[in-house]
Amino acid sequence: MADDLGFIHQFVPAPTGANGPTLLLLHGTGGDENDLLDLGRIDEPTAALLSPRGKSLEEGAPRFFRRLREGVFDEADLIRRTNELADFVILAAQRYAIDPNRIWALGFSNGANIAAATLLLRPEAVAGAVLLRPMVPLEPDDRPDVAGKPVLIVAARHDPIVPVRETHRLSDLLESAGAAVTTHWVPGGHGLTHDDLAATQAFLTSQFGAT
């Protein structure tokens, strides 16, 4: 665990001889830099893993940005934190000698929201994204150019936190900016299940080949 580059974080190099991408792992509310390491390794065994801890606290629970209430985000804080995260990714690519053009975000809930915000505000920081249970983080005044960036949205049909319309709004927003969006629906609620794992594995395999 390192606490420099602006974030407490974990970096796990790719396995010896592997030539996979780097997965930027972004936890949900109350998680930390260890939460998604196992998921990342299972989803893409050839990848290096870069996993920061969110710096915003909500009643002691780490998050990546502040919210005013459930589903209502502090947009000014979101913008500031998104820029911090993008700067961290750029510095980490230099520190760990990873290809900055092969960094993919994989985020859950609050982590998925800041991953989506990164695509919308700092698209140069990530090559693509897997967004698990995301919402629309914000609608920027200037639409970014994310032409061709692959994005997987995995949404649940009975999610009590993310309404179905939010998933469609986010998909439409990213597509209007040029992203190649795939939306996959799973049964269940806000928590992750084996269906999420299978969808993520299939998507990443389609991007990087059989693992």
Catalytic residues: 109, 159, 190
Mapping DSSP to helix (H, G, I), strand (E, B) and coil, where does residue 186 land? Answer: strand
Joined tokens for residue 207: 């991007």
Q: Which of 32, 47, 27 is nearest to 211 (CA)?
A: 47
Question: How far apart, in Å, are the Cα atoms of 133 and each of 21, 99, 157, 167, 179?
Answer: 22, 27, 10, 8, 18
Report the distance separating Cα 64 and Cα 68, nearest Å. 13
How far, in Å, CA of 65 to CA of 27, rounded?
12
